[in-house]
Amino acid sequence: MSELLEAAAEADELDAADALAALRERFVLDDVVYLDGNSLGALPAGVPARVEDVVCRQWGELRIRSWEESGWWTAPERIGDRIAPLVGAGPGQIVVGDSTSVNVFKALVAAVRMADVGRDEILVDATTFPTDGYIAESAARMTGRSLRPVTPAEVPSALGDRTAAVLLNHVDYRTGRLHDLPALTAAVHAAGAYVVWDLCHSAGALPVGLDEHGVDLAVGCTYKYLNGGPGSPAFLYVRRDLQDRFDSPLPGWNSHAEPFGMRPAYAPASGAVRGRVGTPDILSLLALEAALEVWDGVSVEAVRAKSLALTDFFLRCVGEYVPDGLVESVTPAAHAERGSQVALRCDGAGDVMKRLIERGVVGDFRAPDVLRFGFTPLYVGFADVERAARVLAETLE
């Protein structure tokens, strides 16, 4: 009992000293402890009114005029520039649109097409989210390359003269392990290959440093830590000096140098626009733009510091509250190897998560035995963390 009281008191002190605590008011939340932002971020409070304006005024009144007067046509690049600082990129290198899967396909095929003649192998993260593996296999068939699954740790030794491109996840979606983007990028470049990073579980949760580390291409979703809403469009990063060589396997009229010229022959536009395909999904795109306003005045570095503090505190509370042997953390303890989630292995994890949700602690379950808890520092506090650990202990007992 004393441990519970001490941890609860410490949580209150930490929340009182938290410089980001006031950001919680920028979201629509209730008394549920929401630790599933690594699957779907909470609703930013400013989104409903913005969507209403887009539907009722921009679409309902201005109609076709909104492509110009409301800035619909330039939204993919404008919103890309809004995301850019959150992943360490300068302007003009990110375009928003399509799904993560589509952008992975575009990026990986383009990377292979840029590779030197004779490079006939693609390396793919063997621990990746399944869709990335499916896309990589299709890209290999389409480009006549062989596909070789390896773990991120095996990448340096697997690289060679045959390597054309490497597709890697920045954070493992099951365990929350953070892979070494700077070192792995440098290793791929030293081998003369190109790297594509999947940032779905790191964008908006921690500093990425795309420009700083010379990443070639990257993709990421916007409905997790960027809180863009269910199915919100993904983003594609193409490093500036590679843009004139970016050969998309999905050329569309939106990426044409003269989109309204209706030319029978394709001529790619310059810059990040080459990553576009067809007509943008305006409703979701502009909802995302409104959602990104919660980042005004917020640094990713401050978010990362709080994320580590939250996950440290959660692991400590779990260690103090949960009897030995009932759960095992599969998330690395080292800060340099941890994303913004904690994954706990336990027996009957699916049923345990159902009971947690019934008691107001929302995480998610990954087969066969993993409880996942995602920590979004913009709206999760230390009292939330303490409560989640306490309810988990009570549920397991």
Tokens 């949580």: give the residue. 11
Report residue 285: phi and psi, to 5°.
-65, -45
DSSP state, residue 41? P
DSSP state, residue 54? I
> 130-143 vs 100-114: helix axis angle to the nearest 10?
40
Report residue 365: phi and psi, to 5°.
-120, 135
DSSP state, residue 279? -
Tokens of 149: 């699954």
β-sheet with 328-329: strand ranges across? 328-329, 341-345, 370-374, 364-366
Report residue 268: phi and psi, to 5°.
-70, 145
208 dihedral zone (left: phi>0; alpha: psi -120 to 50; beta): alpha
- Strand ranges (DSSP E) for 153-307? 163-169, 194-198, 217-220, 235-238
**What's the CA gap between 277 and 269, in Å, rounded?**
11
Q: CB–CB of 256/268 below 8 Å?
A: yes
**What's the CA gap between 198 and 391, in Å, rounded?**
33
**Active site residue ranges:** 129, 198, 223-224, 372
**What's the CA gap between 386 and 290, in Å, rounded?**
31
| Residue 315, helix vs strand vs coil | helix
Residues 6+ apart with CB under 8 A from 48: none
